[in-house]
Amino acid sequence: MAPKTVRHIGFLVQGCLNQAVDWDLIPKNPMVKVKKPKVPRRRPAIVSTSGSAGLFARISGQKIYPLVLVYYSTGMRRGELLALKWTDLDWSAGMLEISKSLEQTKRGLRIKGTKSGETRLIALSEAVLEALREHQRAQRQERELFGSDYRDLGLILRGRMVTITRRTKWGAYSDEVGHSFRSKWGAVPTGSGAVLG
């Protein structure tokens, strides 16, 4: 039986016996001093250089490409990535301001502050900036195509791109999207990724 399961059962039994103590059915809870097994912390898988190169080759030209590129190059959290607005990007300085995060709640999506509560600046490489320029041009074309039906929230990554799942049509590369990028960031930076504030 896995340590996590044993630990869960132990605390469940302990809770039941606590109730028995409250009801004066037993004098004390024998489970209080029972040591529960520790659950080993799993280290996230780290994407390899060859794996990331294969991923970018396979998604080149796809709508998800700029999302994955920014994700990989900056190491930001998923919620921070999805809350990015064009106004957060200083094109002339090549700087991205991270000040908010998108969160899923029972009532729907909402914008909140970053996990640390602090705003930070990240320098982007020219390759990332060029991918974002192309992405912005594609957004403008969509806006012209849909006219008044186009709902512009100013988000950099919008629509179908906000759904990031571990199961994608890119198969084995799907596991490389997510926390593995945050683990990899700094080890093999594709962009400058320098945190300046």
Per-residue pLDDT for the chain (197 aa), expressed as one digit of tens each? 888 899 999 999 999 999 999 999 999 999 998 999 888 887 655 566 666 777 778 888 888 888 888 888 888 888 888 889 999 999 999 999 999 988 888 888 788 888 878 888 999 999 899 999 998 998 888 888 888 877 777 888 765 444 443 334 443 333 344 444 454 443 333 344 444 44
Tell me which residue range forms the domain holding 36: 1-41
Q: Is residue 174 part of a domain?
A: yes
Residues 80 and 138 in one domain: yes
Residues 77 and 144 in one domain: yes
Q: Which residues contact 58 (CB under 8 A, 6 or more apart)?
A: 170, 173
Residues 60 and 107 in one domain: yes
Q: What is the pLDDT of residue 158?
A: 67
Q: Is residue 192 part of a domain?
A: no
Residues 84, 136: Cα–Cα separation, whole Å: 13
Residues 81, 163: Cα–Cα separation, whole Å: 12
What does residue 52 show for φ and ψ, rounded to 5 degrees? -65, -40
The helix (run of H) or strand (run of E) holding residue 120 is strand 120-123
Residues 79 and 117 in one domain: yes
Q: Is residue 122 part of a domain?
A: yes
Q: Is residue 190 part of a domain?
A: no
Residues 150, 177: Cα–Cα separation, whole Å: 29
Residues 26 and 117 in one domain: no
Residues 33 and 126 in one domain: no
Residue type, 122: I
Residues 56 and 17 in one domain: no
What total of structural domains would you count in the chain?
2
Q: What is the pLDDT of residue 149?
A: 77
Q: Is residue 194 part of a domain?
A: no
Q: Is residue 103 part of a domain?
A: yes
Residues 111, 95: Cα–Cα separation, whole Å: 21
CATH code of residue 162 = 1.10.443.10
Taking the whole predicted model, whether its pTM rises above 0.85 is answered as no
Residues 3 and 80 in one domain: no
Residues 26 and 116 in one domain: no
Residues 87 and 131 in one domain: yes
Residues 30 and 54 in one domain: no
Residues 76 and 113 in one domain: yes
3-state secondary structure of 150: coil
Residues 126, 193: Cα–Cα separation, whole Å: 11
Q: Is residue 196 part of a domain?
A: no
Residues 20, 111: Cα–Cα separation, whole Å: 44
Q: Is residue 197 part of a domain?
A: no
Residues 102, 84: Cα–Cα separation, whole Å: 9
